[in-house]
């Protein structure tokens, strides 16, 4: 099943990038996609973590939420930077991990870095070390709402 999904994703991606409908080019695309799928299977990289089917529909809800958070953080950081007396209090915090999978942890770490005002510095087995620009951004991360959304996206209990 995962191989078929990878085949389908590669085919759609190739077609969107090329936009070609000629017989030779479509044939070349099919050959390249089948070769890529063969190599992925041979290398053993078509597994639960590389194609997390369970998180697909949850990601459809998480992505807009994350984009909204990025927008809000952009506005927050812009206000701080342009203030006459910026209330910047940079700090490094340790955020305990609730995620149970490597996919969830990677999504969490990347989401932190995508959000202005925070950067993931290190990921350990039980915590993520984050550099936060202000006390407010640190408190937001420590509240756990982002991790809860990621756990729900994966179908896990966020508790």
* Averaged pLDDT, 24-29: 84
| Strands 91-96, 127-132: pairing kind | antiparallel
Enumerate residues 6+ apart whose C-beta is below 8 A from 69.
115, 146
Per-residue pLDDT, 41: 80
pLDDT in tens, 40-64: 888 877 766 666 666 777 888 899 9
| pTM recorded for the entire structure | 0.73
């Amino acid at each position: 099943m995962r191989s078929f999904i990878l085949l389908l994703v590669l085919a759609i991606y190739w077609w969107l990038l090329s936009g070609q409908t000629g017989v030779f080019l479509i044939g070349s695309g099919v050959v390249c996609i089948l070769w890529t799928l063969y190599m992925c299977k041979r290398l053993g990289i078509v597994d639960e973590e590389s194609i997390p089917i369970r998180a697909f529909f949850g990601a459809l809800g998480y992505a807009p939420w994350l984009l909204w958070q990025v927008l809000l953080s952009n506005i927050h950081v812009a206000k701080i930077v342009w203030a006459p007396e910026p209330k910047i209090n940079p700090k490094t915090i340790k955020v305990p991990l609730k995620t149970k999978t490597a996919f969830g942890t990677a999504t969490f770490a990347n989401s932190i870095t995508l959000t202005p005002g925070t950067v993931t510095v290190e990921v350990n087995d039980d915590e993520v070390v984050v550099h936060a620009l202000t006390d407010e951004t640190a408190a937001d991360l420590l509240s756990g709402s982002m991790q809860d959304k990621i756990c729900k996206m994966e179908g896990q209990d966020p508790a």
